[in-house]
Amino acid sequence: MLKAVLFVWMTVVVILALGLPMVNQPQAWYQFPTIPALEEKARIMFFHVPTAWLSVVAFVTSMVYGIRYLRNKQTEDDIKSSAAAGLGFLFCFLATATGAIWAKFSWGTYWNWDPRQTSIFVLLLIYGAYFALRSAVEVEEKRATLAAVYSIIAAITMPFFMFIMPRMLASLHPEPILNVQGKIQMNATMLIVFVSSLAGFTGLYYWMWKLQVRAQTLESKRHFS
């Protein structure tokens, strides 16, 4: 059921996000406003921002289930934690890739160590280290405990990163959501499509996560029998 709803929802979002015309002065309901300096490239935000958002959501989910695992040592919590981390890695990679492609056309280079790029790079490194650690431990309980502890330590040092990065370099990254100075204007249509895309991607993540958890639970049961 969820699968069918998600399919229809995401199809509509993709068609609207890519298909609706962009004009300077939107008159009709179906028109997007042109954002200065971004123009047609602004369409990437319908896909890039949700993936970046989900890579953070997955990171937090993984840590929360890690804490739960440490508290009551249930294998299913570890499965939930590692499944979230796996999806987080996927979405983190997608956000990095879409961001790099956008940067090529807006900034003229795929990678220039913008603060946003640096912090997502560190997030990728943490995910990579997390899986390297998991594959290096064979005993299941030990692997779950060590992975949970590592994800918690990584999560508590991340805020430091968010704090120092802006001090070191000014970012050129546009901020459609935290739009403080009102530099980027979205009209109602654009905002609705954007929020629908965010909701659709989050639903997709939830569905994939449930599926992963079920598959891995079956896998672990097969090992025991």
Contact positions toward other proteins, by CB under 8 A? Answer: 70, 122, 125-126, 128-129, 132-133, 136-138, 142, 145-146, 148-150, 152-154, 156-157, 160-161, 163-164, 167-168
Sort residue 182 into left (φ over 0), alpha (ψ -120 to 50) or beta: left
Please state the closest distance from residue 220 (CB atom) to other proteins, in A: 20
Contact present, 120 and 99 (Cβ < 8 Å): yes
Please state the closest distance from residue 208 (CB atom) to other proteins, in A: 25
Contact present, 182 and 55 (Cβ < 8 Å): no
Please state the closest distance from residue 129 (CB atom) to other proteins, in A: 5
Residue 9 or 131 with smaller CB distance to other proteins: 131
List the one residue out of 185, 179, 193, 181 whose CA is nearest residue 33. Answer: 185
Residue 20 or 154 with smaller CB distance to other proteins: 154
Q: Please tell me the distance from the alpha carbon of residue 208 to that of residue 205, in angstroms, as a whole number.
A: 5
Extended beta strands in the chain, E state: 22-23, 32-33
User: Which amino acid type is present at position 213?
Assistant: V
Residue 106 or 145 with smaller CB distance to other proteins: 145
Sort residue 46 into left (φ over 0), alpha (ψ -120 to 50) or beta: alpha
Please state the closest distance from residue 200 (CB atom) to other proteins, in A: 30
Residue 101 or 149 with smaller CB distance to other proteins: 149
Instruction: Report the DSSP beta bridge partners of residue 32.
Output: 22
Please state the closest distance from residue 143 (CB atom) to other proteins, in A: 9
Please state the closest distance from residue 111 (CB atom) to other proteins, in A: 17
List the one residue out of 100, 120, 124, 102 whose CA is nearest residue 110. Answer: 100
Q: Please tell me the distance from the alpha carbon of residue 2 to that of residue 58, in angstroms, as a whole number.
A: 20
Residue 73 or 104 with smaller CB distance to other proteins: 73
